[in-house]
Structure 1
Amino acid sequence: MKKRLFVTGLSGFVGQHIQSRLASPDATWELLPAAHPYDLTTPGSLEDLWPQMPDAVIHLAGQTFVPQAFRDPARTFDINLLGTLNLLQALKARGFAGTFLYVSSGDVYGQVAEADLPIAEQQPPCPRNPYAVSKLSAEFLSLQWGLSEDWPVLVARPFNHIGTGQKDSFVIASAARQISRIKLGLQAPQLEVGDIDVTRDFLDVDDVISAYFALLEKGTPGQVYNICSGHEQSIRSLIEQLSDLAQIDVQLVQDPARMRRADQRRVCGSHQRLARTTGWSPRISIQQSLRAILSDWEKRVRQE
Structure 2
Amino acid sequence: MNDLFGGVYAGRRVLVSGHTGFKGSWLCLWLTALGARVTGLALAPDTEPAHWNLLGLSEVEDLHVDLRDAAAVRQTLQHAQPEIIFHLAAQPLVRRSYREPVVTFDTNVLGLVNLLEAVRATPSVRALVNATTDKVYLEQTTDGGYREDHPLGGHDPYSTSKACAELVTECYRKSFFLDAGPRVATARAGNVIGGGDWSEDRLVPDLVRAASTGSTLQIRNPDAVRPWQHVLEPLSGYLRLGALLLAGEAVEGPWNFGPSADATLPVQALVSLMQSHWPALRSAHQPGPHPHEANILQLDSSRAKQQLGWQPVWDADTTLQSTIQWYREYYEQSHLLSRENLQAYVDSAHAAGLEWAA
TM-score for both structures, normalised by structure 1: 0.87
Task: Please state whether the residue corresponding to 2:89 is helix, strand or coil.
Answer: coil
Question: In structure 1, what residue type is equivalent to 2:232?
Answer: D
Question: In structure 2, what residue type is equivalent to 1:246?
Answer: W
Judged with a 3 Å threshold, the aligned counterparts in structure 2 of structure 1 residues 33 and 134 are, in CA distance, closer, same or farther, namely closer
* Residue 253, structure 1, aligned to residue 280, structure 2: no
* Residue 6, structure 1, aligned to residue 33, structure 2: no
How many pairs does the alignment contain?
292
Mapping of residues 132-281 of structure 1, within 5 Å:
132-150=159-177, 151-168=182-199, 169-178=201-210, 180-181=211-212, 186-187=213-214, 190-218=216-244, 220-231=250-261, 232-247=264-279, 250=282, 252-256=283-287, 259-262=290-293, 264-281=294-311
Per-residue Cα deviation, 1:146-202 (whole angstroms, up to 9, x for no partner) = 223323110111121111111252112222332x33xxxx425x4421211221111
CA distance in structure 1 between the partners assigned to 2:138 and 2:193 by the alignment: 20
**Equivalent position of 2:54 in the other structure:** none
**Residue ranges of structure 2 left out of the alignment (5+ in a row):** 1-9, 42-60, 335-358
**Equivalent position of 1:127 in the other structure:** 154
Per-residue Cα deviation, 1:99-120 (whole angstroms, up to 9, x for no partner) = 111111110114221x433211
CA distance in structure 1 between the partners assigned to 2:297 and 2:69 by the alignment: 36
Question: In structure 2, what residue type is equivalent to 1:14?
Answer: K
Question: In structure 2, what residue type is equivalent to 1:160?
Answer: N
CA distance in structure 1 between the partners assigned to 2:193 and 2:149 by the alignment: 25
TM-score for both structures, normalised by structure 2: 0.75
Shift of 1:94: 2.7
Question: In structure 1, what residue type is equivalent to 2:118?
Answer: A
The equivalent position to 1:49 in structure 2, one of 70, 76, 95, is 76
Judged with a 3 Å threshold, the aligned counterparts in structure 2 of structure 1 residues 247 and 116 are, in CA distance, closer, same or farther, namely same
Question: In structure 2, what residue type is equivalent to 1:198?
Answer: A
Question: In structure 2, what residue type is equivalent to 1:203?
Answer: Q
Judged with a 3 Å threshold, the aligned counterparts in structure 2 of structure 1 residues 230 and 255 are, in CA distance, closer, same or farther, namely same
Kept in 2, the 8 Å contact 1:194–1:260? The answer is no
Kept in 1, the 8 Å contact 2:184–2:252? The answer is yes
Question: In structure 1, what residue type is equivalent to 2:205?
Answer: A
Shift of 1:126: 2.1
CA distance in structure 2 between the partners assigned to 1:47 and 1:157 by the alignment: 26
Kept in 1, the 8 Å contact 2:153–2:163? The answer is no
Task: Please state whether the residue corresponding to 2:171 is helix, strand or coil.
Answer: helix
**Residue ranges of structure 1 left out of the alignment (5+ in a row):** none
**Equivalent position of 2:103 in the other structure:** 75
CA distance in structure 2 between the partners assigned to 1:155 and 1:63 by the alignment: 17
Judged with a 3 Å threshold, the aligned counterparts in structure 2 of structure 1 residues 238 and 280 are, in CA distance, closer, same or farther, namely same
CA distance in structure 2 between the partners assigned to 1:244 and 1:258 by the alignment: 29
Q: Compute the RMSD of aligned alpha carbons.
A: 2.4
CA distance in structure 2 between the partners assigned to 1:112 and 1:149 by the alignment: 33
Task: Please state whether the residue corresponding to 1:57 is helix, strand or coil.
Answer: strand
Kept in 2, the 8 Å contact 1:173–1:293? The answer is no
Kept in 2, the 8 Å contact 1:37–1:45? The answer is no
Matched-pair identity in %: 22
Kept in 2, the 8 Å contact 1:159–1:203? The answer is yes
**Equivalent position of 2:39 in the other structure:** 32
Judged with a 3 Å threshold, the aligned counterparts in structure 2 of structure 1 residues 248 and 221 are, in CA distance, closer, same or farther, namely closer
